[in-house]
Structure 1
Amino acid sequence: MPTLRRRLPRPSTLRGRLALLALLLSAIWIAGLTLAFNLILHHLLQDQADQQLRTRAAAIAATVSAAPDGTLTVQEAAGDSVLDSGVWIYQGTENIEQPSADGSLTASADALAGQDQRYADSGGSRLYADAVRTDGRQIGTIVTQVSTDAYTYTAGIALVGSVALGMLLLGCVYLATLLAVRRAMRPVSEMSADAARRSAVGTAERFGSADRPAELAELGTNLDALLDRITALLHDERRLTAELSHELRNPLARMCAEVEWLRSRPRSAEQQHDSHAAIAEAAERMRVICQTLLTDTRPGLGIGGGSGVGRCQAAEVLRTVARRVPPGPPTPTVTVIGGGGTPVVPPAVLERILSPLLDNACRYAVEQVTLACHETADGVVLSVADDGPGVPADLAEEIFRAGSRADPADGHSGPGLGLPLARRLARGAGGDVVLARTPIGARFEVRLPRAAAMPVS
């Protein structure tokens, strides 16, 4: 059966498959109705023939009288030739009256002699035997015969007509199903064409569920949810690209400056060595940035993951980022204070969190920038504070939105991605970056989970 199913051709469209399924179900239903109709008709025609045989037998019995010695006498009446056709009368098993009939039919009638209420078929005829009784005993038999040709003809015509009607109904059902399914599938085709159009032009429209059947409304809702997820993923990819560009801008600019400085005029060996070291340091920073943003911050990987690479000494990272600030005016003084702390985050990720905070602090500070670190009951808090103009309270959350800045007219042309990147990295590590209240300047706090103490071997 599976092999036969594989060999049978299947329509390639859903409309064709639904129409074929409706055709098969209708064929089974019509075949059952046709069979039932013809069986019932056959039974009714046979019952009609049997009723005619019994009626004739009763009429003949009224013309037969029995003598006390058991002799049967048939009373002949004028014009009873029609009644006598197809009738056999037996006294015991002796035939005392019979019609003109062929031998096979007479033999079938003789076989019914002595029977009572018994039917038999012989060729195109049906016979019925009825007993003649006197004093409660059977002394004779009346056998009647009727031709079944008319009944057979009627049954044949009914069979052909019902089969033809069934085939016509099947054709009508198939065409009606095709039209109905095509009409029902029209909204799906329209949605498919609409989806193709939207994918080509990149529109932000959605399918929605208004004025649609329940099934298509559910489909439209699911498609809209899928489009929203795809849009969110594309937004994340665009944001990641912008963050990479933002983070790579400074080391790349330094590399370009060093190369241009080397090419502009001859340099001593020591100066070339220093430039090469600066280029190598910038390249290493670019490698670390790419690894941090493209690997450690991918969803599902987890930053740190509790391994040895996922923990660092906060004070060392603070001193590392502080050393990158060039000394002397107009750069403010950077001071590192506070004790230790071991957050569950790789050093490179912590540097990426602190770097935009320190850049902002140096940009807006008047004289002093303070980096601090201390442990709390459930984590490590690192702060970056400056003595600048601060951030208005109503913009405490707005500045963490990508592309947003507290004062667009401050002369700084940055894209506004540093703070969102710092917060996203911190939250990816299970912490957060918040703007703390302070009477002077601005203080950003990086709150991270603390690593468990390493067991002493």
Structure 2
Amino acid sequence: MKKLTLTLVTAMLTAIIFLGWGIDNLFNEYQRKEGTDEFALHKQLITSLAFTLDKIENVEQFISIWQSQNQQQLSLTPLAEFPLPASLQQNFSQGQPLILESEDFITVNQLLPSKQGVLSLSVAQTTKQHDILTIQIILTTAFYSGILLCAFIWIYPLIKRLQLLQKTAKAFGEGDLSQRIHLVNTSYIVDIENEFNNMAEKIAILLEDNKLLCNAVSHDLRTPLARLRFGIEALSETNSPQNKEKYVKHLSRDIEEMETLVGVLLNYARLEQKMVKVQRIPLKVNKLLHSAVASFASSEQSLVAIDTSGLTDSNLSILGDENYLSMLINNLLTNAQQYAAKKITISTQSTDKGVMLCVCDDGPGIAPNKRDELFKPFTRGDIQLSHKGYGMGLAIVHRVALWHGAQVSISQSDELGGAQFTVLFPQ
């Protein structure tokens, strides 16, 4: 919007200043030419008449005959009745014609020295005023037409971009979620277009995640529901106390599995909310990692060795939320422990781009064409179907990293041969 306002103000001010300056100079030039040439013939005429009449006796008779033959009025005024200011008196006394203007007439005056009078030739103002008024109307019309033209030149690209925005938004609303606006730097509303593209991208991702979640939930709930139905039927048909106890345990296990799935869904739903507040404070990244490793070492899940020799620099710091970063680390370790054979390595290092965290395992690894998909919720690799879980761990890792401006990538570990998860935190 700043660009839109700035270009509008600049265009209007430029148009007003340059058009006004140009038209004003044009009008002044017109007036200068008019003032220079308009009365040249009248001056020549009054000079010739004054030279002639100053030498004859019957001036009044000549003037009377002139009046009857010409539209331009000629008159003789005694010099004493023709007062002039001192600034005009000197040139007029030396014989130069003097032009005086009134509301209705312009008079060209010439001194008759021997008659001690002033010969005056009157020219009507009507024609001159009409010409000036016409010029003023033409120039005023040109000024406002120029302003309108500049406004149209400025607003036409805006109209085209707004039409494109309307067309894209309409297509997106009708279900074509691939529609985006091609951004150009010269657009006045490039910020709005960029925000629209971001909004469209988020909506498309949200709908895709929702579809994926629905499919995954329906798939993962179908198995425990089927076992529940079978267990209830079997429980109703048996009279053996031992069988009843066995079926009740199975039912309890299936219910717990469903509760776990619902809990996972609720946790991810909380992560999806945009109202989550991330409190960024300086944190020692290696301290967080040692705490997470200690928790795993004291749990029953710790079935493989975790090598922390790569955590050498205790001063490495990142800005982030301790709770969410602990969740990210725990999910990376849990994922590595599920698929590692004997060993997991954790390392950190400082780079030009930021602080890099790497978690490697000696498991089967992840195929390159499957790596990006694993960051989606309820997505698991083909070889991981025998392991427990719902495919939400890496989706949570990706979400938390996104909140912290970090980048997550999957590659193959050169040292262990399995998967390597790298999180690059910005400086």
Q: TM-score range by the shorter chain?
A: 0.5 to 0.7
1:162 is matched with 135
- 2:376 is the counterpart of 1:402: no
1:6 is matched with none
1:152, CA displacement in angstroms?
Answer: 2.0
Deviations 1:261-314 (A, max 9, x none): 885548989997997798578747754674467449989938996289966331
Gaps of 5+ in 1: 1-13, 64-73, 87-99, 132-139, 324-334, 362-368, 450-457
Q: Is the 8 A contact 1:57 1:142 kept in 2?
A: no
Alpha carbons of structure 1 residues 232 and 180: separation in structure 2 relative to 1, 3 Å:
closer
Equivalent residue for 1:443, pick from 413, 418, 426: 418
| Partner secondary structure for residue 178 of structure 2 | coil
2:46 is matched with 53
1:301 is matched with 278
Q: Is the 8 A contact 1:339 1:374 kept in 2?
A: yes
Equivalent residue for 1:322, pick from 298, 301, 317: 301
Pairwise mapping of residues 38-437 of structure 1 onto structure 2 (< 5 A)? 38=31, 40-42=33-35, 44-46=37-39, 48-61=41-54, 63=55, 82=62, 106=77, 110-111=81-82, 116-117=93-94, 119=98, 125-131=107-113, 140=114, 142-148=116-122, 150-163=123-136, 165-166=138-139, 187-188=160-161, 190-201=163-174, 202=176, 204=178, 208=182, 229-230=198-199, 232-234=201-203, 236-237=205-206, 265=235, 283=259, 287=263, 290-291=266-267, 294-295=270-271, 301=278, 306=283, 312-317=291-296, 320=299, 322=301, 335-338=303-306, 347-359=326-338, 369-370=341-342, 372=344, 384-386=361-363, 390=364, 396-402=367-373, 421=395, 424=398, 434-436=411-413
CA distance in 2, matches of 1:190, 1:54: 71
Q: Is the 8 A contact 1:374 1:382 kept in 2?
A: yes
Identity %: 7
Alpha carbons of structure 1 residues 279 and 340: separation in structure 2 relative to 1, 3 Å:
farther
| Partner secondary structure for residue 194 of structure 1 | helix
CA RMSD of aligned residues (A): 6.4
Letter in 2 for 1:352: N
Q: Is the 8 A contact 1:288 1:348 kept in 2?
A: no
Gaps of 5+ in 2: 1-6, 67-72, 315-321, 351-355
Deviations 1:212-233 (A, max 9, x none): xx976x5798787656544553
Letter in 2 for 1:397: P
Higher-Rg member (1/2): 1
> TM-score w.r.t. structure 1 length?
0.51
Letter in 2 for 1:128: Q
Q: Is the 8 A contact 2:261 2:390 kept in 1?
A: no
Alpha carbons of structure 1 residues 32 and 281: separation in structure 2 relative to 1, 3 Å:
same
Q: Is the 8 A contact 1:45 1:151 kept in 2?
A: no
| Partner secondary structure for residue 135 of structure 2 | helix
Q: Is the 8 A contact 1:374 1:380 kept in 2?
A: yes
Deviations 1:346-371 (A, max 9, x none): 5543443344455556xxxxxxx435
CA distance in 1, matches of 2:212, 2:288: 22
Higher-helix-fraction structure: 2
Deviations 1:118-141 (A, max 9, x none): 74859755432254xxxxxxxx45
Deviations 1:228-271 (A, max 9, x none): 54455346545765786799789967975897688554898999
Letter in 1 for 2:412: L
| Partner secondary structure for residue 147 of structure 1 | strand
1:402, CA displacement in angstroms?
Answer: 0.3
Q: Is the 8 A contact 2:348 2:358 kept in 1?
A: yes
Letter in 2 for 1:336: V
